[in-house]
Amino acid sequence: MRVLVAMSGGVDSSVAAALLVEEGHEVVGATLKLWGGPSDSGCCSVADVEDARRVADQLGIVHHVFNLTEEFEQSVVEPYVASHAAGRTPNPCVECNRHIKFDRLLTRAVRLGHDVLATGHHARVRRGTGTPRLLRGVDADKDQSYVLSMLSVAQLERVVLPVGEMTKAEVRSHARRLGLRTAGKPDSQDVCFIHGAEGRAGFLGRRLALHDAAVVDRRTGATAGTLPAMELVTVGQRRGIGRGDDGGRRYVVDVDVPARRVVVGGEGDVRSGWVELDPATVTWVDGPRLDGEEVVVQLSAHGAPVPGRLVQRADRVAVALGSPQRLVAPGQTVALYDASAPEVVVGSAIALRRSPAGAAITPEERPGEAEVSPGDLVR
């Protein structure tokens, strides 16, 4: 089998390539040049390209560098900035997987005559006589099925994930046995195109105007101060929000960019039993799930799975959660798993922020009702 391996310069993709070579496949490595600016995240830097090249040399395979900086800017960076400008909190790693790795790169791999694309993600593709399925990785602490939850059947048919059956410790052990230079390299943790020296505030501040905003108490409607850059604020945030008159911690409940207002409340105000999903972003692995169908829901990359139930009416889609959870910031990915086989991904969507009247939160609304109610979904 001819395999193109996406080699990021990290230990997981290095071992993925090594395993495929050991299995006797015709393996070619490819590293993506995605970002032309400074980076220190352990992804997309010049050092990472060099690490990937040297690992490829150790494995005796051909290595290419594909320049996709223009595509990355258009499909990941610009939408990231636009989302913050609109008061949303995007997940650029998910969008990179959606638009770059498993779209542009996969298309190129096929065009170059490769049978499949391999990556170092900690997830699994189950193949048999039926439809391929995306499963959680064996290592629960490193599982990355959440960031791959948008993959379709057509894509899964062309994707292999060699390290999904291994724990991270086993991956590093395998790399050490082979003497790979990436064996002890730390995992990438941050957004690859944001340098630690400037942070998110510095990066966004160079690309859009940052505005101050009034801080409004959800329950009383009283103004409780100001925040200097509302485009940096995310729903659910506690840091930098201070405490209420009762001394309790305050959390961000809503970010209303047009009104230049950040609504805050207590811990009970940032919990809800509903998550509304943007219908335009809903993807299913092998066809839509039905209204009322039970699912397992993961609300963040490392969040605990919770039971849920799909609620679909006309152009509205939501998930009723089995128990109240922290509000999901609009723009974040919601991954959906099979209720009868919770390790199997069935689809995903991006969280949408919309109150029942389609307007911003008002102080009179009771906790949780600003999300979505069953009556709101019926038209």
CA 95 to chain centre: 7
CB of 118 within 8 A of CB of 20?
yes
Instruction: Identify whether 96 is a catalytic site residue.
Output: yes
DSSP string, 297-344: EE-STTPPPEEEEEEEETTEEEEEEEEEEEPPPTT-EEEEEESSSTTB
Tokens of 235: 């729903």
Instruction: Identify whether 44 is a catalytic site residue.
Output: no
Distance CA 262, CA 255 (A): 5
Q: In sequence order, which ranges of the chain are alpha helices (DSSP H)? A: 11-22, 46-59, 69-72, 78-85, 92-96, 106-111, 153-156, 168-178, 199-207, 374-377
Question: Catalytic one among 43, 44, 93, 96?
Answer: 96
Range 135-142, long-range pairs (CB < 8 A, 24+ positions): 135/164, 135/343, 135/344, 135/345, 136/337, 136/343, 136/345, 137/161, 137/163, 137/164, 137/165, 138/164, 138/165, 138/166, 138/167, 139/166, 139/167, 139/168, 141/168, 142/167, 142/168
Distance CA 310, CA 46 (A): 44
Distance CA 289, CA 294 (A): 9
- Catalytic residue numbers read 96, 192
